[in-house]
């Protein structure tokens, strides 16, 4: 009888130890799960903060271009002819473009108000004016989608000089893009030695 009682007591102790051990493992597992969830929340918050910081840096860099006017004077010789090129570009400060929040990947709660830009191109042959036009995004309207006409801005002006074709066109390149996005289209204006122009 004593042996039976001893075995029963031993079994009870082992059962209690086993249950306690399982309880500890369960608690540790719960702690581990909570810790993993906390880690994931921290990582998500860090990514969101980095995205917001990156967006703000890009936005401030873009806004700084409002004050950066481009004004280029070039003299180009083609055969016996001398051409004078004046190429300028500036912000209009018209606050006429309201980019919807859906395009603002770093701030999808607010629209972004920005301005149109305009370029002027004057080409002279000697004292004769061959070409003198203000160029805005509307100049290229037949090439642009509705969203670029509504929210696009004339960006990244570049005078590429004279191409190598027989006609010897002067090339002026831009991008009509929605600021702070990768939505845009490159456009090029070609002006001939006689002042005729086309774009693509």
Question: How is the chain split into domains, by residue range?
Answer: 1-67, 68-199
pTM summary value: 0.73
For 76, phi then psi, to 5°, come to -125, 135
- What percentage of the chain reaches a pLDDT higher than 90? 62
> How much is the pLDDT for 167?
77
> How much is the pLDDT for 56?
87
For 121, phi then psi, to 5°, come to -125, 125
183 neighbors 175 (Cβ within 8 angstroms): no
Q: Mean per-residue pLDDT for 93-118?
A: 90
| Nearest to 95, CA basis, from 77, 74, 78, 117 | 117
Q: Mean per-residue pLDDT for 32-51?
A: 54
> How much is the pLDDT for 54?
86
Mean pLDDT taken over the chain: 83
Assess whether pLDDT exceeds 70 at residue 124: yes
Q: Mean per-residue pLDDT for 156-163?
A: 94
> How much is the pLDDT for 94?
98
Q: For 68-199, which CATH superfamily applies?
A: Protein of unknown function DUF4738 (2.40.128.510)
């Amino acid at each position: 009888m004593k042996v039976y009682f001893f075995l029963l007591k031993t079994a009870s102790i082992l059962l209690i130890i086993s249950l306690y051990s399982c309880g500890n493992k369960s608690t540790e597992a719960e702690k581990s799960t909570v810790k993993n969830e906390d880690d994931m929340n921290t990582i998500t918050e860090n990514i969101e903060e980095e995205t917001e910081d990156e967006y703000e840096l890009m936005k401030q860099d873009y806004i700084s271009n409002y004050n950066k006017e481009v004004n280029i004077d070039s003299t180009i010789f083609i055969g016996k002819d001398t051409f004078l090129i004046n190429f300028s570009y500036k912000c209009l400060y018209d606050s006429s473009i309201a980019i919807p929040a859906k395009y603002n990947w770093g701030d999808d709660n607010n629209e972004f108000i920005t301005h149109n830009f305009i370029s002027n191109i004057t080409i002279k042959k000697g004292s004769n004016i061959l070409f003198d036009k203000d160029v805005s995004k509307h100049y290229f309207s037949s090439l642009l989608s509705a969203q670029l006409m509504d929210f696009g801005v004339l960006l990244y002006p570049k005078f590429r000089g004279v191409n190598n074709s027989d006609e010897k066109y002067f090339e002026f390149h831009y991008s009509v893009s929605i600021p702070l996005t990768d939505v845009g289209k490159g456009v090029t204006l070609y002006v001939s030695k006689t002042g005729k122009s086309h774009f693509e």
